Chains A and B, each alone.
Chain A
Amino acid sequence: MPPLAQRNLFHDKVRLAVTLTGIVFSVVLIVVQLGLFIGFTTATSNLIDHSGADLWITSKNVPYVEQGVAFSERKLNQVRTVAGVADAQKIIAHWTQWKRHDGGEDSVQIVGINVDDPMEQPWNLVEGRVQDLKSPDAVILDELYQQKLGVTRVGEVFEIGGHRARVVGFTRGIRSFTTSPYVFTTFKNAQNYTQLREDQTLFILVKVVPGADVEQVRRDLLARVTDVEVFTTAQFSHMTTFYWMFTTGAGVAVLIAAVLGLVVGFVVVAQTIYATTVDHIREFGTLKAMGAPNSYVYKVIMKQAAISAVIGYVLGMIVSVFVVRGSQAGGAAILMPMPMAVGMFFLTLAMCIGAALVSINKVTRIDPAMVFRG
């Protein structure tokens, strides 16, 4: 096929620039919003997804991980007697206040763990070791929040909930969805930092025996241990994510922005391709007079849309990569997993081809007799 579509597209460079700008804007906006959505979703359930546990035991009516309610830590012994339980540990995850050297205070989420157990250990350490938490008053936090908490180096001492805390290490990439960073410490320290009683815990994490039926163990725990809820890690993760993303409306807001980006792109592309079609209406009339079926004419228009989509997608993704990389240093990371990047290509293509349908309608109605009118 002679390059009619390409030539028509590149003939008017200003209009092409407008089309591509619209597509790039749409791609970047959608990537940013969806990337924020994925970033937020990941951040809301970070603690749960990286716990290494199969089951989470909470007090009744705990809707998400930040709303833990204290219960007796003696239930741990009951949990360990249930068939299929390979390991069970007490965990604290709760808010408290961090006092900076300048006297200011910030809210943090204390995560109290058994340092000798693999469950819920801090991950991606870039300085220090998990075992360093065994030293007195030791805490580990993410380097992202150093400035916020006034921390400049390992070894500095601060006050948490009225108790001494010494920084022994930093992680990288452990984001909290709220503005309160996670601070990892021992279970005992966490009880002090959060004013929890010695006989209390907020959660019990369970690892089941390899090959065991997780759902069966969950039911057995519910039957055996009273006044608790038992969730699979996936369930509790979903509950927490759902609360932050949809009950609060945060997720809906970013999704709406993503849809808006799609609408903007659609409208811009539809308008410019339509304008191009109208500019070339006589040529399309000539094509039809020559005997071209409607499908041939549609192909020309669709090709214009597809070419615009590919170029716009490539440019949009280049910009998006820079935006995504730039966001990594900030509190709200924009994530762009490969499936999303691939999906964006098809979404961009669908957007442009859908927009071209407006022009399809126009050319379908062309009267080829127009070619005889001067």
Chain B
Amino acid sequence: MQAAISVRRLIKKYEEGATGTLALRGVDLDVHAGELLMLMGPSGSGKTTLLSIMGCILTATSGSVRLAGTEVVGLREKDLPALRLEHIGFVFQGFNLFPTLTAGENVELMLDLKGVPTAKAKPRAQELLGQVGLGEKYRSFPADLSGGQKQRVAIARALAGDPGIILADEPTAALDSHTGRNVMEMMSDLAHKRGRAVVIVTHDSRVLGFADRIVRIEDGAMATPGEAESVPAGLLAQSLPQASVGLA
């Protein structure tokens, strides 16, 4: 089966004056639909850079990145937004909600970008918020929501584009254990029940139990090139508070 994301010999070099920094040194990686993959590594290891390149936000220096079969390395910058809109949903550490829009309007914004007419966008946004357990928060502003609620709105927004790939950068970093588990259960549902390819960058060892695979990045390379650890489902999750919130 074709990988949702396929990375081969990926190199990223940041040019800084006379010298440059090699952020990625030839990464090979596949992520499949229905899989939840975690990227772990120390700060500065290149995991966010890898996520950014997979998300068509940063361009690679060389190598290959295929999204749903489309080669993105070498594409013009102006072609990348359309690819992101089509294939990728982002979930950010800082939630990145629009503070002047309500929860519902934040989700509608993604639908508007996809060209969904307002008359259809509103009920769809309501439905998506309902799926993350926030149907009654449609008219609430982000300032009135808890951290966990904000992240769930962000997930609903990411889903609004109906992407095949969800990329999350430290989605539980700003959340307590209980809330973080709720969010991870949703991310897990996205992969296992909805068939999305989910890639999560995290430092949070509490959430490792949700991963189908863990890839460690160190100094821009995979710690064990060509291999990745597979963590038995739930092994580490047993140490976290139990919760029953998932995607409706």
Add 13 more A-B contacts to A4-B101, A291-B83, A369-B58 (CB < 8 A).
A2-B106, A3-B105, A4-B98, A4-B109, A7-B98, A283-B98, A289-B57, A291-B81, A291-B84, A294-B78, A371-B92, A372-B48, A372-B51
- Smallest distance from the beta carbon of B74 to chain A beta carbons, Å? 18
Interface residues as binary, A252-291 with B (CB distance below 8 Å gives 1, 0 otherwise): 0000000000000000000000000000001100111111
Which chain B residues numbered 87 to 120 have a C-beta less than 8 Å away from chain A?
Answer: 88, 90, 92-94, 96, 98-101, 105-106, 108-110, 112-113, 118
Tell me whether B233 is interfacial, beta carbon within 8 Å.
no
A371 engages B96 (CB within 8 Å): yes
Q: Which residue in chain B gives the minimum CB-CB distance to A296?
A: B113
Q: Which residue in chain B gives the minimum CB-CB distance to A370?
A: B57
- Chain B residues with a Cβ under 8 A of chain A: 48, 51-52, 55, 57-58, 78, 81-86, 88, 90, 92-94, 96, 98-101, 105-106, 108-110, 112-113, 118, 157, 161, 169
Taking CB atoms, residues of chain B closer than 8 Å to A290 are: 84-85, 90, 109-110, 113, 157, 161
- Smallest distance from the beta carbon of A28 to chain B beta carbons, Å? 30
Report the bound CA distance from A150 to B118 in whole Å. Answer: 70
Report the bound CA distance from A293 to B58 in whole Å. Answer: 15
A2 engages B82 (CB within 8 Å): no
Report the bound CA distance from A216 to B101 in whole Å. Answer: 71
- Chain A residues with a Cβ under 8 A of chain B: 1-4, 7-8, 11, 282-283, 286-294, 296, 368-369, 371-372, 374
Report the bound CA distance from A294 to B113 in whole Å. Answer: 12
Taking CB atoms, residues of chain A closer than 8 Å to B86 are: 291
- Smallest distance from the beta carbon of A360 to chain B beta carbons, Å? 16
Contact of B101 among A7, A291, A296 (CB under 8 A): A7
Taking CB atoms, residues of chain A closer than 8 Å to B110 are: 290
Q: Which residue in chain B gives the minimum CB-CB distance to A293?
A: B81
Nearest 7 Cβ contacts at the A-B interface: A291-B85, A7-B100, A291-B84, A2-B105, A286-B96, A291-B81, A11-B100
Assuming the A-B contacts A291-B84, A293-B81, are A372 and B98 also in contact, with contact meaning beta carbons closer than 8 angstroms in the complex? no
- Smallest distance from the beta carbon of A297 to chain B beta carbons, Å? 10
Report the bound CA distance from A308 to B216 in whole Å. Answer: 51
Interface centre among A292, A296, A372, A374 (most CB of B within 10 A): A372
A-B contact pairs, 26 of them (CB 8 A): A1-B112, A1-B118, A2-B105, A2-B106, A4-B109, A7-B101, A283-B96, A289-B55, A289-B84, A290-B109, A290-B157, A291-B82, A291-B84, A291-B113, A292-B85, A293-B78, A294-B81, A296-B113, A368-B57, A369-B57, A372-B51, A372-B52, A372-B57, A372-B92, A372-B93, A374-B93
Taking CB atoms, residues of chain B closer than 8 Å to A293 are: 78, 81-82
Q: Which residue in chain A gives the minimum CB-CB distance to B173?
A: A374
- Smallest distance from the beta carbon of B176 to chain A beta carbons, Å? 18
Assuming the A-B contacts A291-B86, A372-B52, A372-B169, are A8 and B100 also in contact, with contact meaning beta carbons closer than 8 angstroms in the complex? yes
